């Protein structure tokens, strides 16, 4: 169930991340492109490219527009256990324009003359961190963030590991193809690194071995890319 009411955090995510299936007739989008929001404009292309999307329009309960996006799911229905496994390899991303969040929380713009916007991609990774590993996990995630070609991965105050990437745009006309490429790339990276992070977070390996495994994974990926 999606929590529309949590406006206390800049990273608003579903209470229990659902497999994304928008209810029929849930979006009141007109055929006139000039009246559509950025997310309404790019949603058809994302769906065409086999990405699952769920549009959350701004209303009294949801103060600013958001879109949830994930790589496609071939199964219409998944039970709770299958859904948990699915989310390990198919993260659900929350997309919001950060200026909407700042305005909603009455944060003054740093530069009122700027015409740049920030589109944030955010997801919580389904990794549980043992409490005795909280100190070292911060170090490990900082190493991963340096390795990643885009975005950062970190631990929040609730002990949850999150990934965040901010795309600076000129206005709100964002190319849907670019958004699809970013989602696909981030999903690939999360799949490559999350297993090693989980092994450390749950006490299966130490931080040194985790870093060595991550470096080997990166080298292997670079070699594979060189062969393409």
Q: Does the pLDDT at position 96 exceed 60? A: yes
Q: Is residue 16 part of a domain?
A: no
How many domains, in total, are found in the chain?
Answer: 1
Q: Is residue 84 part of a domain?
A: yes
226's CB contacts (< 8 A; 6+ apart) are: none
Which comes out higher in pLDDT, residue 83 or 108? 83
pLDDT value for 17: 43
Q: What is the mean pLDDT of the chain?
A: 76
Residue 220 domain boundaries: 33-227
Percentage of residues in the chain having pLDDT higher than 70: 67
Q: Report how far Cα 127 is from the mean position of its chain's Cα atoms.
A: 14
Alpha carbons 169 and 116: distance in angstroms, whole number: 6
Q: Is residue 122 part of a domain?
A: yes
Q: Is residue 7 part of a domain?
A: no
Q: Is residue 5 part of a domain?
A: no
pLDDT value for 108: 55
pLDDT value for 14: 40
Q: Does the pLDDT at position 44 exceed 90? A: yes
CB 196 within 8 A of CB 125: no
Q: Is residue 52 part of a domain?
A: yes
CA distances for 179 relative to 47, 103, 111, 125, 133, angstroms: 12, 24, 26, 20, 34
Residue 187 belongs to a domain with what CATH number? Answer: 3.30.1460.70
Q: Is residue 131 part of a domain?
A: yes
pLDDT-derived band at 18, boundaries 50, 70, 90: very low
Average pLDDT over residues 177-188: 92
Q: What is the DSSP letter of 106?
A: T
């Amino acid at each position: 169930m999606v929590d529309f009411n949590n406006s206390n955090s800049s990273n608003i995510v579903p209470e229990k991340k659902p497999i994304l299936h928008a209810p029929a007739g849930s979006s009141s989008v007109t055929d006139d492109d000039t009246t559509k929001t950025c997310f309404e404009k790019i949603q058809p292309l994302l769906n065409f490219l086999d990405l699952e999307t769920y549009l959350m329009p701004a209303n009294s309960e949801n103060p600013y527009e958001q879109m949830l996006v994930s790589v496609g799911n071939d199964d219409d229905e998944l039970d709770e256990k299958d859904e948990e496994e699915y989310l390990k390899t198919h993260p659900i991303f929350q997309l919001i324009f950060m200026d909407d969040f700042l305005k909603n929380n009455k944060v003054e713009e740093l530069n009122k003359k700027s015409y740049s916007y920030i589109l944030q991609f955010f997801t919580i990774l389904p990794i549980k961190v043992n409490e005795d590993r909280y100190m070292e996990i911060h170090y490990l995630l900082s190493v991963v963030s340096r390795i990643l070609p885009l975005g950062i991965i970190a631990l929040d105050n609730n002990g949850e590991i999150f990934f965040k990437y901010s795309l600076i745009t000129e206005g709100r006309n964002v190319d849907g193809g670019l958004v699809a490429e970013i989602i696909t790339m981030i999903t690939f990276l999360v799949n490559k690194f999350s297993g090693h992070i989980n092994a450390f977070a749950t006490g299966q390996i130490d931080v040194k071995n985790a870093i060595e495994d991550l470096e080997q994974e990166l080298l292997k990926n670079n070699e594979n890319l060189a062969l393409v």
